[in-house]
């Protein structure tokens, strides 16, 4: 379990990094929590690794214009511990499920987005709240909606010569409620099924509700579930609708840890639970 | 506010080095500068004929010193001797056929592991895939693909036994109760993987091999490994470092790699190191045997079990790798478990499949046995309408010593009291009340029990059972399990005990030191324990090693024997210092670092007497010993070879575990949560309560892994599906937060000087089935039967789903 030979670059700037990537056969190395095992098992053998963790341009973490901006070199654990990230409540809800603390101390938020594991939490959270991914490359900078980032298992719209530089999460406003849950064989394992949910209320009524499911398809699946809350707001009442939604959403082949049918069952349960919870939070006074 | 700085007092002498990173494990050692590094090329096919292997490109790769493959192994290595006559030759790597994914096919030796793995990719093997069989029941069918053509069968051993009037008991029975069960393969997943350093050398007396390996025995495998290389054991020297990063039996499967690396060293002309990586470990090291089994009980009016019929078929993987088929026989003497059952019929088969070979795993053979027996006892309760605790209570062994129908001799115990303690302290009634409340709320809650007899200290005579009595060679019996310890005293009176016990992290040095110090009346600081094995210097026998819970019953007994012999010499020296006649030596007391004459009250220091042995032995009368070193051996009583009727007392001591589990199952997600685990142990005299508790916790977590998480799965096509920690799930601290109630009673063994029995394997045998019984109890109203492991949401979903359709 030793990697095949590769060249290692530690660029001094994002421009340097882009230049190395543009030369081809290169892969960005950030926290390495997914990439390094892939190298060790020789499942991937890029000719060059471009280590971006020391780039000062990518180390920023802060809030501006009602957005939390997380640079590509920022470790998950830093985000988890930084008090400002409470402004994006789903991050706090999801982060304890991202691997284990030891992994989060190395892994990066943007790395998780770029890796795009179908069962990963952060791509689903980003897609649920409408985060924006900042990308740079030889053709300049561009922005990608998180919901459109992932195109398949471990595949994104980010080109081989491009680099994610940051992600911006909208901070939560008044009248927003959130739900997050996942089921895994053990704590820290990739989810068999999981949901991230945001409900927004205005003037005592639901304005919109969004659900992102993960672990159940080849990418996070985002659904507008506003209509569901028009008919039911408690877990038992929501179940028929969430079961139907789950049957529609789940298309993973499944494995020994969770078959397609079990994952669909779990998604129906979790979606109803968390939708009801998010609704209660968004409309605490609502008698129903 | 000058708070005292917090100090940590290690529970064990070994701990300070381990937690400060100064332990020295196999991969930390560099005993032979210039050692090269090996990588192993493994079969990607579960079953394939090897048409040819092209090693030339790998040999030509810069940095490669040697590559060995099928031809080199075929030319130089003899098949390992097996414990049955079935022709299923086993070599350390594939020669004509590969029979499981991960089987070694070639070894590349290079300057470092990176280069070795680069070159390993250049080895080209031409495989002709063959039909595959991975399922035990399928492997038994007459038209199943054969792994070993010359055997004409996949059954490596098939024996039947009958003790007592089994048919009569079944004819007279009020009820007969039957269950079919399947036990999965799983491991203990030691943190440190296999590691070997091997040097082949030649001198005037011919070839010799010197090896460093984290191999904890059994050292029956030393002559086996030497013999495979054509060497006598005297030309095969094994070093085992004091630190082994866990094994729990799994590392007993390392010896084929010792042979392979010795041959690689011969070809490389340099010493060779191989450190197994985690994928290799999960693919091809070892695991407990899988088992399919049928248990049947004859039950009388009162719920008494009057006879058992037991049919066991173990999946041992592609080869009957010694010490298999021992999974079948390790618990032969205690096959009737905690119960007084006068008659038992047994069929024991070991079956080869296209999976990796199996072997020792904590609770060896007992996990599988008790899964069947204790599920069956729940079935007996259901059939008779008795409570699961009551039906067990009625059948318990009550008088000790107790002779089992298979020849076991339960040395001591109080099973009835242990069960009562479990029920009262564990809160059986309280858990039943929780169950009632949960069911009223529409939730699943279950309570499961398991009572197991926990054997310790092997009698290797059980190995003979794989061969019919008529075919066993006269004068070639096997028995016993002698343990030898060497004690010495230095010029300042510091005593050192040298153990050949090759611990895997259990804390042998700590306990041996305290046992010796207590026996000699010395402060622990005046005693040292050394645990490095060097087969050329440390006393050992073929049964030495760290397995079958030998330490507490056997090794500590040998410590007593050794220090007693040493004390005889020191007492003699004391008579000189005290001006007493030599015959007064036996009457002197050892206490507080002194040697005291109880009749006069005079005393001298232990260290002064020791000093006399070193400095002034001329002062000793001629009939007093001058020894400063003494070997003490302990030869277990009652451990004799199997009888002509195939009865065997397969262990020296028999401890006891009574366990209870309460589980909650989320009715929506089907997640299983342990609400409470209660565990009562009787391991005889408690040598060290902290270490005992640690062993119990470790065994519980191991059992938890087998019950809920761990399994080596294979696809029908024979591909392993659990070759990384992404799929092979070990419980972590996050999964072990259950409430634990534990207690002990102590029924000292009359067969050992201290009365101590093994304690590290019991809960590995009991917890898997206790959890299964609890889950079965929880889902009983849903009409779901539990007959296999592991249990988790997906498994329960399938069971409930199957029932619905």
pLDDT digits (tens, 9 = 90+) for B404-446: 999 999 999 999 999 999 999 999 999 999 999 999 999 999 9
Comparing CA positions, the residue from B764, B783, B777 lying closest to residue B707 is B764
- B742 in Cβ contact with B693 (< 8 Å): yes
- From CA B190, how far away is CA B244, in angstroms rounded? 9
| Cross-chain residue pair A261–B797, CB shorter than 8 Å | yes
Mean pLDDT of B442-452: 97
Query: How confident is the model over B244-261, as a mean pLDDT?
Result: 97
**pLDDT, tens only, B568-617:** 999 999 999 999 999 999 999 999 999 999 999 999 999 999 999 999 99
B27 in contact with A, Cβ within 8 Å:
no
Instruction: List, run by run, the mean pLDDT of 10-residue segments along chain A (288 residues).
Output: 96 97 97 95 96 97 97 98 96 96 97 97 98 98 98 97 98 97 94 98 96 97 97 97 98 94 98 98 79
In sequence order, what DSSP letters do the residues of B372-402 get, joined into one string?
Answer: HHHHHHHHHHHHHT--HHHHHHHHB--SSSE
- Closest Cα in chain B, distance from residue A48 (Å): 17
Percent of chain B with pLDDT over 90: 95
- Mean pLDDT for chain B overall: 96
Confidence band for B638, pLDDT divided at 50, 70 and 90? confident
Residues of B with Cβ-Cβ distance to A6 under 8 angstroms: none
pLDDT at B473: 84
The CATH number fitting domain A56-170, selected from 3.30.465.10, 3.40.50.300, 3.40.640.10, 1.20.120.10: 3.30.465.10
pLDDT at B285 over 90: yes
CB contact under 8 A, B721 and A256: yes
**B194 vs A contacts (CB less than 8 Å):** none
Which residues of chain A make contact with B792, given a CB cutoff of 8 A?
Answer: 185, 257
CATH class for the region spanning B290-461+641-804: alpha beta
Residue spans per domain, chain B: 17-130+194-275, 290-461+641-804, 483-634
Dist. CA B63–CA A216, nearest whole Å: 47
Cβ pair A185:B669 closer than 8 A:
no
How many Å lie between the alpha carbon of B78 and the closest alpha carbon of chain A?
Answer: 30
Interchain CB distance below 8 Å, A256 and B794: yes
Using a CB-CB cut-off of 8 Å, the residues of chain B touching A4 are: 118
All residues of chain B having their beta carbon less than 8 Å from the beta carbon of residue A265 are 797
Query: Residue B211 in contact with residue B197, Cβ under 8 Å?
Result: yes
Count, residues in chain A: 288
CB–CB contact A259 B721 (8 Å): no
Look at residue B805 in the predicted model and tell me its pLDDT. Answer: 56
- CA-CA distance, B93 to B551, in Å (whole number)? 33
Domain B17-130+194-275 carries which CATH code? Answer: 3.90.1170.50
Q: Are A2 and B792 within 8 A, CB to CB?
A: no
Q: Tell me what pLDDT residue A287 has.
A: 55
A68-107 confidence digits (pLDDT tens): 999 999 999 999 999 999 999 999 999 999 999 999 999 9
Mapping DSSP onto H, E and C, the string for B646-660 reads CCCCCEEEEEEEEEE
CA dist A201 and A208 (Å) reads 7
Token readout for B515 is: 């046992």
Mean pLDDT score, B675-700: 97
Is the CB of residue B44 less than 8 Å away from at least one CB of chain A?
Answer: no
Compute the average pLDDT of residues B285-302.
98
Please tell me the distance from the alpha carbon of residue B566 to that of residue B570, in angstroms, as a whole number. Answer: 7
> In the structure, what pLDDT confidence band is assigned to residue B11 with cuts at 50, 70 and 90?
confident
Pick from A204, A242, A200: which is nearest to A223 by CA?
A: A242
Q: Do A256 and B709 make contact, defined as CB atoms within 8 angstroms?
A: no
Taking alpha carbons only, the member of A92, A286, A114, A121 closest to residue A220 is A121
Q: B668–A269: do the CB atoms touch at under 8 Å? A: yes
CB contact, 8 Å: B52 with chain A? no
Determine which of B115, B713, B793 to mutate to test the interface with A (most A C-beta atoms within 10 Å): B793
Listed in sequence order, the residues at least 6 apart from A145 whose beta carbon sits closer than 8 Å to its beta carbon are: A130, A131, A132, A133
Query: What pLDDT does residue B165 have?
Result: 98
- Say yes or no for a CB contact (<8 Å) between B114 and A5: yes
Would you list the domain boundaries of chain A? 7-51, 56-170, 176-282
Can you give the three-state secondary structure of chain A, one letter per residue? Answer: CCCCCCEEECCCCHHHHHHHHHCCCEEEECCCCCHHHHHHCCCCCCCEEEECCCCHHHCCEEEECCEEEEECCCEHHHHHHCHHHHHCHHHHHHHHHCCCHHHHCCCEHHHHHHHCCCCCHHHHHHHHHCCEEEEEECCEEEEEEHHHCEEECCEECCCCCCEEEEEEEECCCCCEEEEEEEECCCCCCCCCEEEEEEEEEECCEEEEEEEEEECCCCCCEEEECHHHHHHCCCHHHHHHHHHHHHHHHCCCCEECCEEHHHHHHHHHHHHHHHHHHHHHHHCCCCCC
Q: Tell me whether the omega of the peptide bond preceding residue B401 falls within 30 degrees of 0, making it cis.
A: yes
- What pLDDT does residue A285 have? 77
| Residue from B371, B214, B208 nearest B285 by CA | B214
Instruction: From chain B, pick out residues whose CB is under 8 angstroms from the CB of A240.
Output: none
Q: How far is A14 from chain B (nearest CA, A)?
A: 31
Check residue B160 and give its pLDDT.
Answer: 98
Contacts of B671 in chain A (CB under 8 A): 183
Residue holding tokens 């990066």? A108
**Is domain A7-51 classified as CATH 3.30.1050.10?**
no
CB contact under 8 A, A1 and B277: yes
Query: What count of CB pairs under 8 Å joins A to B?
Result: 64
Check residue B10 and give its pLDDT.
84
What is the model's pLDDT at position B6?
76
User: What band does B2 get if pLDDT is binned at 50, 70 and 90?
Assistant: low
Residue B289: pLDDT over 80: yes
The pTM of this model reads 0.97
In tens, the pLDDT along B163-183 reads 999 999 999 999 999 999 999
**Cβ within 8 Å, pair B729-A185:** yes
Contact (CB, 8 A) for B450 and B679: no
Contacts of B801 in chain A (CB under 8 A): 261
Identify the helix (H) or strand (E) that includes residue B70. helix B70-76
Closest residue of chain A to B734, computed from CA coordinates: A187
Dihedral (Cα; B397, B398, B399, B400), 10-degree rounding:
60
What are the chain A neighbours of B735 within 8 Å (beta carbons)? Answer: 186-187
What does chain B come to in residues?
Answer: 805
> Cβ contacts (< 8 Å) between B121 and chain A: which residues?
42
Beta-carbon separation of A188 and B734 below 8 A: yes
CATH annotation of B483-634:
3.30.365.10
pLDDT over 90 (residue B744)? yes
Look at B734 and A185 and tell me if their CB atoms are within 8 Å.
no
- Cα gap B691→B551, rounded to integer Å: 12
Contact B727 A3 (CB under 8 A): no
Are the folds of B17-130+194-275 and B290-461+641-804 the same? Answer: no
DSSP-based three-state secondary structure for B260: helix
Cross-chain CB nearest to A1 (options B118, B278, B729)? B278
DSSP code per residue over B700-769: HHHHHIIIII----B-TTS-BS--STTTS----GGG---EEEEEEE----TTSSS-B---SSHHHHHHHH
Residue B625 contacts residue B552 (beta carbons within 8 Å): no
Which CATH number among 3.20.20.70, 3.30.390.50, 3.40.50.11440, 3.40.80.10 corresponds to the domain A176-282?
A: 3.30.390.50
């Amino acid at each position: 379990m030793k990697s095949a030979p590769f060249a290692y670059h530690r660029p001094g700037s994002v421009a340097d990094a882009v230049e190395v990537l543009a030369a081809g056969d290169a892969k960005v190395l950030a926290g390495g929590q997914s990439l390094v095992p892939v190298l060790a098992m020789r499942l991937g053998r890029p000719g060059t690794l471009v280590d971006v963790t020391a780039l000062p341009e990518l180390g920023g973490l802060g809030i501006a214009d009602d957005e939390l901006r997380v640079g590509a070199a920022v470790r998950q654990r830093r985000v988890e511990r930084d008090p400002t990230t409470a402004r994006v409540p789903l991050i706090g809800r999801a982060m304890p499920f991202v691997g284990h603390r030891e992994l989060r101390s190395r892994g990066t938020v943007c790395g998780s987005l770029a890796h795009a594991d179908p069962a990963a939490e952060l791509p689903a959270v980003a897609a649920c709240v409408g985060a924006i991914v900042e990308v740079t490359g030889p053709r300049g900078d561009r922005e990608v909606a998180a919901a459109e980032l992932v195109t398949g298992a471990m595949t994104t719209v980010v080109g081989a010569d491009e680099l994610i530089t940051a992600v911006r999460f909208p901070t939560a406003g008044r009248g927003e409620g959130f739900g997050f849950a996942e089921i895994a064989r053990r704590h820290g394992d990739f989810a068999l099924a999981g949901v991230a949910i945001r409900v927004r209320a205005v003037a005592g009524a639901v304005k919109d509700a969004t659900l992102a499911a993960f672990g159940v398809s080849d990418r996070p699946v985002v659904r507008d579930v506003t209509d569901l809350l028009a008919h039911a707001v408690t877990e038992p009442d929501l179940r028929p609708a969430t079961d139907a939604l789950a049957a529609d959403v789940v298309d993973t082949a499944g494995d020994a840890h969770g078959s397609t049918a079990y994952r669909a069952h779990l998604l129906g349960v979790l979606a109803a639970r968390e939708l009801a919870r998010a609704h209660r939070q968004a409309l605490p006074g609502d008698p129903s | 506010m000058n708070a005292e700085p917090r100090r940590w007092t290690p529970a064990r002498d070994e701990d300070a080095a381990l937690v400060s990173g100064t332990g020295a494990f196999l991969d930390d050692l560099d005993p032979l500068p210039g050692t090269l590094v090996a990588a192993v090329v493994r079969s990607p096919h579960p079953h394939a004929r090897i048409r040819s292997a092209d090693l030339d490109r790998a040999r030509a790769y810069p940095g490669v010193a040697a590559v060995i493959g099928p031809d080199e192994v075929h030319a130089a290595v003899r098949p390992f001797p097996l414990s049955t006559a079935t022709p299923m030759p086993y070599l350390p790597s594939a020669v004509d056929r590969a029979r499981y994914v991960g089987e070694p096919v070639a070894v590349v030796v290079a300057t470092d592991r990176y280069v070795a793995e680069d070159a390993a990719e250049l080895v080209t093997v031409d495989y002709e895939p063959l039909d595959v069989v991975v399922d035990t029941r399928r492997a038994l069918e007459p038209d199943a693909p054969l792994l070993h053509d010359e055997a004409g069968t996949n059954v490596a051993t098939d024996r039947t036994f009958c003790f007592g009037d089994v048919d009569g008991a079944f004819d007279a029975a009020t009820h007969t109760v039957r269950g079919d069960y399947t036990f999965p393969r799983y491991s203990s997943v030691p943190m440190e993987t296999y590691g070997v350093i091997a040097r082949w050398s030649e001198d005037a007396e011919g070839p010799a091999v010197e090896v460093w390996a984290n191999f904890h025995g059994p050292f029956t495998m030393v002559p086996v490994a030497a013999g495979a290389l054509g060497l006598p054991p005297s030309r095969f020297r094994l070093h085992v470092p004091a630190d082994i990063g866990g094994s729990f039996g799994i590392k007993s499967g390392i010896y084929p790699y010792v042979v392979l690396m010795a041959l690689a060293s011969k070809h490389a002309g340099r010493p060779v190191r191989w450190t197994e990586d985690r994928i290799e470990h999960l693919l091809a090291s070892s695991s407990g045997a899988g088992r399919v089994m049928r248990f049947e009980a004859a039950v009388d009016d009162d719920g008494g079990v009057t006879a058992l019929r037991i049919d066991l078929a173990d999946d041992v993987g592609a080869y009957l790798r010694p010490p298999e088929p021992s999974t079948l026989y390790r618990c032969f003497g205690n096959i009737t478990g905690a119960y007084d059952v006068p008659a038992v019929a047994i069929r024991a088969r070991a079956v080869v499949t296209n999976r990796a070979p199996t072997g020792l795993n904590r609770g060896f053979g007992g996990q599988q046995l008790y899964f069947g027996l204790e599920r069956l006892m729940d079935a007996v309760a259901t059939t008779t309408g008795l409570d699961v605790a009551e039906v067990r209570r009625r059948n318990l062994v009550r008088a000790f010593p107790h002779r089992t129908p298979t020849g076991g001799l339960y040395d001591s115990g109080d099973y009835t009291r242990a069960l009562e303690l479990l029920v009262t302290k564990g809160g059986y009634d309280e858990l039943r009340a929780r169950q009632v409340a949960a069911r009223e709320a529409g939730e699943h809650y279950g309570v499961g029990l398991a009572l197991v007899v926990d054997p310790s200290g092997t009698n290797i005579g059980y190995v003979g059972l794989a061969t019919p009595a008529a075919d066993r060679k006269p004068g070639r019996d096997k028995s016993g399990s002698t343990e030898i310890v060497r004690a010495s005293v230095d010029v300042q009176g510091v005593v050192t005990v040298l153990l050949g016990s090759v611990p895997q992290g259990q804390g042998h040095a700590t306990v041996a030191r305290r046992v010796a110090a207590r026996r000699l009346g010395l402060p622990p600081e005046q005693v040292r324990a050394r645990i490095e094995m060097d087969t050329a210097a440390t006393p050992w026998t073929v049964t030495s090693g760290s397995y079958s819970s030998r330490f507490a019953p056997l090794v500590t007994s040998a410590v007593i024997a050794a220090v007693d012999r040493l004390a005889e010499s020191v007492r003699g020296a004391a008579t000189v210092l005290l001006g007493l006649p030599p015959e007064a030596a036996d009457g002197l007391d050892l206490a507080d670092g002194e040697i005291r004459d109880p009749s006069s009250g005079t005393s001298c220091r232990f260290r002064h007497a020791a000093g006399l042995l070193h400095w002034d032995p001329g002062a000793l009368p001629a009939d007093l010993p001058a020894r400063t070193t003494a070997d003490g051996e302990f030869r277990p009583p009652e451990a004799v070879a199997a009888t002509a009727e195939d009865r065997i007392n397969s262990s020296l001591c028999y401890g006891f575990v009574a366990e209870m589990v309460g589980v909650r199952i989320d009715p929506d997600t089907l997640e299983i949560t342990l609400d409470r685990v209660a565990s009562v142990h009787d391991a005889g005299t408690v040598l060290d309560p902290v270490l005992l508790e640690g062993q119990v916790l470790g065994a519980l977590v191991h059992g938890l892994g087998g019950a809920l998480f761990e399994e080596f799965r294979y696809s029908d096509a024979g591909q392993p599906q659990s070759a990384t920690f992404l799929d092979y799930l070990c419980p972590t601290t996050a999964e072990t937060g259950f409430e634990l109630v534990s207690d002990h009673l102590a029924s000292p063994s009359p067969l050992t000087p201290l009365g101590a029995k093994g304690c590290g394997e019991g809960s590995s045998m009991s917890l898997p089935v206790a959890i299964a019984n609890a889950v079965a109890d929880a889902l009983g109203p849903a009409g779901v039967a539990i007959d296999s492991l592991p249990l988790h949401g997906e498994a329960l979903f399938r069971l409930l789903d199957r029932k619905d359709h």
